[in-house]
């Protein structure tokens, strides 16, 4: 049970590190007060109600009121992670290497005990031998 909790906690911490260092952008398209489209990492698809500008030939000078709006939320990740060991002192490197070497030995997988009797069923009891040897005093 303890190993399962440690595995879940380490997986959770890995996701925390991953999502704290990742940057992403959320784009939303509103038509009036209604949310029409929302995307992550891409531009939103519009609803087709953008403002029409008159063309150069001025055949149709009709414009629509722009009731649509786009909203963009950017989440910046953390860029202050140390990626190399060049600024780590010699004492810190010794501590890290000793910590890793000690903890690697904790997770060695031992040999599994081989039990060849699990493949065979016990013999059927024909008669109860212990009752043959019993004596009863009356």
Assigned domain for 131 exists: no
- Interval 69-107: pLDDT, tens: 888 888 887 777 666 666 778 888 888 888 888 887 776
Which 3-state string (H, E, C) describes the chain? CHHHHHHHHHHHHHHHHHHHHCCEEEEEEEECCEEEEEEECCCCCCCCCCCCCCCCCCCCCCCCCCCEEEEEEEECCCCCCCCCCCCCCHHHHHHHHHHHHHHHHHCCCCCCCCCHHHHCCCCCCCCCHHHHCCCCCC
Assigned domain for 12 exists: no
Residue 56 belongs to domain spanning? 23-77
Number of structural domains the chain divides into: 1
For the question of whether the overall pTM of this predicted structure is more than 0.85, the answer is no
Assigned domain for 38 exists: yes
Assigned domain for 41 exists: yes
Assigned domain for 61 exists: yes
Assigned domain for 3 exists: no
Give the up-direction half-sphere exposure of residue 76: CA atoms within 13 A in the CB hemisphere: 3
- Interval 39-48: pLDDT, tens: 887 778 777 6
């Amino acid at each position: 049970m303890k190993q399962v909790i440690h595995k879940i906690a380490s997986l959770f911490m890995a996701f925390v590190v991953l999502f704290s260092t990742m940057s992403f952008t959320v784009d939303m398209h509103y038509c009036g007060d209604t949310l029409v489209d929302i995307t992550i990492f891409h531009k939103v698809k519009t609803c087709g109600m953008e403002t029409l500008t008159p063309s150069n030939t001025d055949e149709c000078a009709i414009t629509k009121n722009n009731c649509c709006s786009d909203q963009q939320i950017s989440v910046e990740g953390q860029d202050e992670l140390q990626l190399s060991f060049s600024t780590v002192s010699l004492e810190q490197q010794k501590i890290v290497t000793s910590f890793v070497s000690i903890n690697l030995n904790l997770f060695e997988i031992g040999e599994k005990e081989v039990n060849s009797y699990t493949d065979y069923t016990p013999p059927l009891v024909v008669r109860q031998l212990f009752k043959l040897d019993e004596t009863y005093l009356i």
